[in-house]
Structure 1
Amino acid sequence: MRILLQHATRYGIRSFGTLSSSPTVASAQTLQHRISDALYRNAQILPVLEHWRQQGNQVNPSHVRVIIKKLRDSNQSHQALQVSEWMSRERICNLIPEDFAARLHLIENVVGLEEAEKFFESIPKNARDDSVYTTLLNSYARSDKTLCKAEATFLKMRELGFLLRPYPFNAMMSLYCALKDRDKVEELLREMKGNDVEPDSVTVNNVLKLYSAVCDVTAMEKFLNKWEAIHGIKLEWLTTLDMAKAYVRARSSGKAVKMLRLTEKLVDDKSLKSAYDHLMKLYGEAGEKEEVLRIWNLYKKNIGKRDNDGYRTVIRSLLKVDDIVEAEKIYKVWESLPLEFDIRIPTMLASGYRDRGMTEMAEKLMSSKAVKDRRMNKPITPLLEQWGHQMKQSDLKCLIKNLHDSNQFSKALQVSEWMGEKRVSSLYSEDYAARLYLTENVLGLEEAEKYFENIPENMKDYSVYTALLSFYAKSDKNMGKAMTTFKKMRELGFLLKPSPFSLILSLHKQSNMVEEILREMEENNVDPDSLTVNKVLKIYAAESKVEEMEMFMRQWGRGDGIKLDSGTVAAMAKAYAKAGSIKKAIEMYGDVAGCKREVHLLWDKYMKTKEEEQKEADKVKFGRTPLKIDDGYRIVISSLLKLDDVQGAEKVYGEWIPSGPKLDVRIPGLLISRFCTEGNAFKWSYGWKVIVDFTTTR
């Protein structure tokens, strides 16, 4: 306690009671207050609603609907879906079509389209109004892969007389516009007119984008003039940008500039960088040099961190308007900046020189040290003929490696072939292996096999055979050749390193073969490397052999130099989840970037399981004996913080109710540590308040 108070004093906190001005649960007198408090604390809403009912209070259905909408609008779809399911399960009211539509949308958003389709089939037919069908239609309209289902749903809505508002038409239009199907879009417009349905902003923007894409300026202008003055119709900046592109293609520069000026007024702050790139490009295509420079100055002023994209766009645009002097100035600024080298920028300027007959300037630029050090762009063979004989063998090998590392495989192969043909130096087995690899990469497997046959037998060592085996291991079609090569390497005594075994594992993906390969490695005293360990773990995970997976992990997974890739960790997490080891799965997903959704889904599953266990425990014992699941909270919060989902971690923390005689300080400690790292003193101090309050009351 003394230590905690010292920390509090250090941060200037004299009274923990004044840290939060939010309403507390203890003082809340209405359901609205309790909901507000839960939202403020990022806590779960469902327990609040259930507790309110347990106290004998009624729940207003309209309040629940507002809660669902607030959660959905704040990107808390998981919670929103839970509340929606609870409202149905607890029979809070007779559900109306809007309730089913909201839940259908949430299921598709959280669980996926397949589950949403199943839920739709469970909705009573008399509750399937236009809002429900429109929600289903929107789900289908997000991808052209579900075009047939979207069209079938739209046809059903027509049969039921549900095409009386613009929403279903907009859903189909967005799909047809993506496919550039003008006939279908215009057919929808005629049907809207026949049904006395007025287009809204979404309709107008969709149609204008379509006409812009097919470059029909006349139809575009006619449609815009018809609806532009209608109250409530608002154009999007991406729409006016597309219209400007259409004018540029139609060589109507004046109209293009007018539309680009309108785009500048419509663009929002979040889209500035993308908008500036597009504006510079189109002003350049319209021949407006001053406008290009004006937007570039805005770019430098408003975009904090500049990158290659901006410089590439402005230089290209200035070359379009024939201002090579200004392009040179900006290039020199780019060259002085510590940005990652982008070969396209000097190449672009060199092309500008050549287009203007300034060939010497182009050659000087591309042969400058700044460019030459990063990438060799001249043809390689003439250079080799000129000074290749003067190079040391080590220099030639270094050249091949540099070309290979910069993905210039064709040039690397030319150097390797030149070395062999000119016999400028003695070749070793690693030289043959390097050429074999490059031949397969550039010319294909058949040519690589021909070259392998021409390699002297005394040069076909481990490196050459491993290169050949790696080609065969790329496809199951070559399994026979791979096994023959592997057998030959066994006969020659070349199976003394992990690489050949790892390559064979790429083809044999059954655990029984894995164990056979591992036995042979053990007999040859060959320890698995990172590649081998990852492949074995993935195979065990795919077959849900958790026990074997864990045993192998204990033996080799934590060895020196062994690194697990994210795909392996994700596969293991999936295996744990399938085996019912939810906490282990959550912990492993925490080490895989981009797996927030998996962690949340597994946590929901875990909590449902614990709720069922709680119910069973309550039946056996008198009174309520809370199950202690602190370790589960600690694991999920830790995983979410690793995934930088601080908001999600705070939500889970808001659900945590400490149980037992001692507080597990590691749970708030995780968030306190994060807040301290971020410099968030308010939340840091609030976390300490939780610990102090709990400790003093115990």
Structure 2
Amino acid sequence: MWALRRVSANSIKAQGLNVAAFRACAGLGPFKSPREDKSSNEHRGFTLDRWITSNACQCSVHFPNQSVGIRNLSSQAGAKSGGEEEDDLEEGFSELETPEAPETAVGGVEDSDSSSDSSDSESDLSGVDENSEETLETELLKDAGEAVSKKKLGGLSPLLNLILKESGPSVSDALDKYAAEEKELSRSEVYHATLNLRRRKMFVRALQLSEWLEKREDFEYTERDYASRVDLIAKVRGLQKAEKYIDSIPKSHRQEVVYRTLLANCVSQTTLGKSEEIFNKMKDLGFPISAFTCNQLLVLYKRIDKKKIADVLQMMEKNDIKPTLFTYQLLIDTKGQANDIIGMEQIIETMQAEGMKPNARVQATIARHYVYGGLKEKAVAVLKEMEGDDLESNRGVCPTLLITYANLGSADDVERVWKFCESKPRQGEYLAAIEAWGKLKNVEKAEAVYKNMTKSIKKLSTRHYSTMLKVYAENKMLGKGKQLLKEMGDDGCRIGPIAWDALVKLYVDAGEVEKADSVLQKATSQNQQGRPLFSSYMSILDQYAKRGDVHNAEKIFLRMKQAGYVSRARPFSALLQAYINAKVPAYGFRERMKAENIFPNKGLAGQLSQVDAFRKTAASDLLD
């Protein structure tokens, strides 16, 4: 199924679900992405020379020490092409296992002011690498669901309302005043506020609340509270600070869920060496290897070295760890990215044979790969299955339907689904409809949906503005994009990484690369607002590369490294292209790549040969 390396059938024991899943991974030929031949800049499935073998079966991985960068953002698999992995995840999502989201994940998450739906990622259920934050919430706030639902908190609770209204850099003073007034501060109230802040991507505020609570004697910190704190520190201040905080946690609470949370954040930031170090540390501490942990390794190797996926599966088989639905979704997505539709369908058959029914997220992943594989009829069949006989009972899939039908170019289906939602749209449906009409180049209809959304939602968030801003960026409407950004600022809305990304692309598409660079520099200086997205840097780097502007390409490359975005092949490929177009040699480039543990794939090797100052040519041989 994976075909990342051939596995002898003799090494597989005939035992239950694990073996069935593992057999599906064996003997289907070597992995090769057809995108390798299109553009080396787009190729993400680069190969490392070293990979785990028998060590995998012993739940241990050993690599040379690798540098750990600053927190970066996880990738969105196949959001813009048949399988390109774009590292433009929205504002610090962690890349974690995601269960199927119900209409409302936890009681009280919805609020009347925003008409919020079940999750912020609902607008694209198909993004395997994107729709991950919910599982961490499920793990870290496992007690919150019962506490909040028992309390039946709805709308904006007093504590949440206080935090949302606070305009200063910190909420501690406001919280002190709140406590001094002897307002209720129950665990359900705290969980309700924390969950909502996470859903709104307000991680700084959530961290401030967590820090304030830990100082209070009347609030007893649990193991999951500490783990939640680790996650928030990793998101806001980086992995090193999060790891250092773990050392201060009481030993009785420094358990598996704490380290598992750190591992998930390491994976989210694509830090290979650190991820493997934490995994091995968990093993040394005697923590059990769970499906969640294995899925983290699968997510990591799916991005960095797909050959290792087979070893993780072998480790799962040896330790009798049953694949979850998310495990299968990862396998399906990897084969889809390789445009191996036959292999993808074999995984689906294996999953179904083991009695696991695809949920909406898995179906959306399958549909997306059918779309980009040119199999329109199969994609439509999956979408119709998602719709079911009664769309009302499957309301949660509407955002995915809108986006996928737009990718198919089916304006009639987008219109039909939106008409169903239009009487009482949810937030995710508004956003998906705007995005869908933007993909179809129908800016007028996107603007109409946006206008209706502004009327129904009292206070627009960054996400609302940014969705429309992205439509303007994709359709090269610089003037309207600037005007919307001004409205965003006038409304007091936080202008964060998504808005920066859209603005950068607006200027790049208008040919104003220097202006885009200036915008990104200003964004970088605003660390409290988050780190710029990977795609923002790449939009500018690609333009400098096309010009052969080595000086500016190196500058943007350095800034990417400072932001923690260099330990991957694509930035190196773009920088190499700058040297190629400038027709100058790139001295020591192989050593630079080796220092970042990047090993050349076919495309990178071809580029390196073009900039090798000492390479032999037919003419140089004659002269010698």
TM tier relative to shorter chain: 0.3 to 0.5
Decide which structure has the larger Cα Rg and report it.
1
Q: TM-score, normalised by structure 1?
A: 0.34
Structure with the larger RCO, 1 or 2 (CA within 8 Å, 6+ apart): 2
